[in-house]
Amino acid sequence: MPPIIEIRNLSKMYRIGAHLHKDETFRELLVRTLRKPWVRRPSPLAEATGYSDDDSIWALKDINFDVEEGDVVGIIGRNGAGKSTLLKIISRITDPTEGFARIRGRLASLLEVGTGFHPELTGRENIYLNGAILGMRKAEIETKFDEIVDFGEIGRFLDTPVKFYSSGMYVRLAFAVAAHLNPEILVVDEVLAVGDLAFQKKCLGKMSEVSQGGRTVLFVSHNLAAVQSLCRKGVVLKEGRLVFNGGANDAVDHYMQMVSGPGETSHANVVDLSRAGTRNRKYRPLLRRLELLTDNGVPLLGGIPIGAPLKALIHFRLESPTPSFDVGLGFDNLYGQRIFSAHSAYEPKRVHEVREGEQVFVCEIPQLTLTPGEYKLVAWVEISGGVVDLVEDAARLTIGESDFYGTGKVPRSGTCALENHWRLQ
């Protein structure tokens, strides 16, 4: 039987210029043309296709691979590797510049949660609208309607406009619709990252149900644990090229080596804080580097299991002799809620001395008992109690599942796991 998806020499060029010209007005176009009248303005078509110049990038270049029917393929790669672009081409949202993809089956794509939701419409109305947008028939939505409502747990808010929903409810409803899609091929971009953890699990469960039903799934995720548990095959992209195609576990290994191997400018466990993350412009870039290690100083790759130790080295600079400074490290969930803050001021044995120049603060957390999922790290420096530098989303940390309690029960609900003891009296 021929593969359900065949991808041959698939390439996509973006003109970064084309993006910048988004708000170009006729006047600017005129000025541009008048300044260089001898340069023929390429037609918009040529700009997106054959036209090549300095401000163009190959988001994908010569991608070749096949997907067999029933395969669940994880697609991994760094930010900007071209994962979303690949999915967009396969789902026909954008055309490739070269090559082709042959698709033998009905395909549905989920590149974003709640695409086409309208805030003024009620949950009920949005189920229909969103279902139709994702490619469901009206009759199909009608038969699955109750199931969708149950799955989304929105019950009595069904006839409330979604603008009054909490963000959690909104996401749940959106997923509920998506989870009931019934195509032969399902293409999913990193959308699971926004749900709360319990709901993510539920969706993953639904998705593996889907894939057990012989459905073909292409799944993009930064959550390597999810890729490993959900996918059988894996594809690794790097700067628009396919660098690995094989089993999911091997793909994850390959990716981890890739991001930590020599020659890479930034290691997975060493983050250059002068560039990474987001820093408000009001701060001076004092933070230099963040290093994440497991116990015994082994570089942390991918993630750690729940309850494992974490050691963080925060490199920063003090511009003048400073007697009173502190460093903090925050753990936020993907909703941006602070789950836990580590702070040097919490250290009872902290000695205050005047320091200047390059410094390294070592933070040790003997047991990091956040529940499995992805967390964003926030690092900051304080001088005399005031924050002088702060980097949001400095690094991502994945907490994996483990037998934390020694009972085989993985603590998934809530935001953290604490030791608890029980006895019958």
Partner 1 sequence: MSQTFELVVKPRKGWQPLDFHEIWLYRELLGFLVWRDVKVRYKQTVLGGLWALLQPLAAMLIFTLFFNRLAGIQSNGPPYPLFAYAGVTAWTFFSNAVSASSNSLIGNQQLISKVYFPRIFVPMGAIGALLLDMLISLVLMFALLLYYRWPASLLLLELPVFMLGSFLAASGFGLILSAMNVRFRDVKYAVPFAVQMGFFVTPVIYPLNYIPARYRLAMSLNPMTGMVEGFRHSLLGTAAQWNVMGLSLAVSVLIFVTGLYTFRRMERLFADII
Ligand X SMILES: Nc1ncnc2c1ncn2[C@@H]1O[C@H](COP(=O)(O)OP(=O)(O)OP(=O)(O)O)[C@@H](O)[C@H]1O
Residue ranges that bind ligand X, judged by CB under 6 A: 14, 16, 19, 57, 59, 77, 79-85
Smaller CB distance to ligand X: residue 258 or 381?
258
Q: Residue 303 contacts by C-beta under 8 Å, 6 or more apart in sequence?
A: 224, 225, 397, 398, 399, 400
Position 93 contacts partner 1 (CB under 8 A): yes
Q: Which among 207, 176, 183 is positioned nearest to 113, based on CA atoms?
A: 176
For residues 64 to 83, the per-residue mask of contacts with partner 1, x marking binding by CB under 8 A and - elsewhere, is -----x--------------
353 binds, among partner 1, ligand X, Mg ion, none (CB under 5 to 8 A by kind): none
Q: How far is the CB of 81 from ligand X (least distance, A)?
A: 4
Q: Residue 99 contacts by C-beta under 8 Å, 6 or more apart in sequence?
A: 7, 8, 9, 10, 11, 62, 63
Position 53 contacts partner 1 (CB under 8 A): no
Q: Which among 108, 273, 89 is positioned nearest to 184, based on CA atoms?
A: 108
* Residue 328 structure tokens: 């903090």
Smaller CB distance to ligand X: residue 14 or 65?
14
Cβ-based neighbour number of residue 151 at 10 Å: 20
Q: Residue 237 contacts by C-beta under 8 Å, 6 or more apart in sequence?
A: 60, 63, 75, 76, 77, 81, 82, 83, 86, 243
For residues 239 to 278, the per-residue mask of contacts with partner 1, x marking binding by CB under 8 A and - elsewhere, is ----------------------------------------
Contact indicator for 374, 193 with CB cutoff of 8 Å: yes
* Per-residue burial over 193-220, b = 16 or more CB atoms within 10 Å of its CB, e = otherwise: bbbbbebbbbbbebbeebbeeebbbbbb
* Stretch binding partner 1 (CB under 8 A), from 118-126, 224-232, 264-272, 387-395: 118-126
82 binds, among partner 1, ligand X, Mg ion, none (CB under 5 to 8 A by kind): ligand X
For the chain, give the number of residues: 425
Contact indicator for 217, 247 with CB cutoff of 8 Å: no
* Strand (E) or helix (H) holding 386: strand 386-400
Residues numbered 164 to 203 that lie near partner 1 (CB under 8 A) are: 184
Smaller CB distance to Mg ion: residue 11 or 371?
11
Q: Which among 264, 214, 231, 208 is positioned nearest to 76, based on CA atoms?
A: 231
Among 51, 65, 128, 340, binds partner 1 (CB under 8 A): 128
Give the rounded distance of the alpha carbon of 282 from its chain centre: 27
Number of residues that bind partner 1 (CB under 8 A): 57
29 binds, among ligand X, Mg ion, partner 1, none (CB under 5 to 8 A by kind): partner 1
Q: How far is the CB of 79 from ligand X (least distance, A)?
A: 3
Smaller CB distance to partner 1: residue 157 or 244?
157
Contact indicator for 252, 228 with CB cutoff of 8 Å: yes
The residues binding Mg ion (CB under 5 A) are: 84
Contact indicator for 360, 314 with CB cutoff of 8 Å: yes
Smaller CB distance to Mg ion: residue 84 or 371?
84
Smaller CB distance to partner 1: residue 112 or 393?
112
Smaller CB distance to ligand X: residue 43 or 413?
43
16 binds, among ligand X, partner 1, Mg ion, none (CB under 5 to 8 A by kind): ligand X
Enumerate binding residues for partner 1 (CB under 8 A).
4, 14, 18-19, 21-27, 29, 44-45, 47-49, 69, 88-107, 109, 111-112, 115-116, 118, 120-121, 125, 128-129, 132-135, 137-138, 161, 184
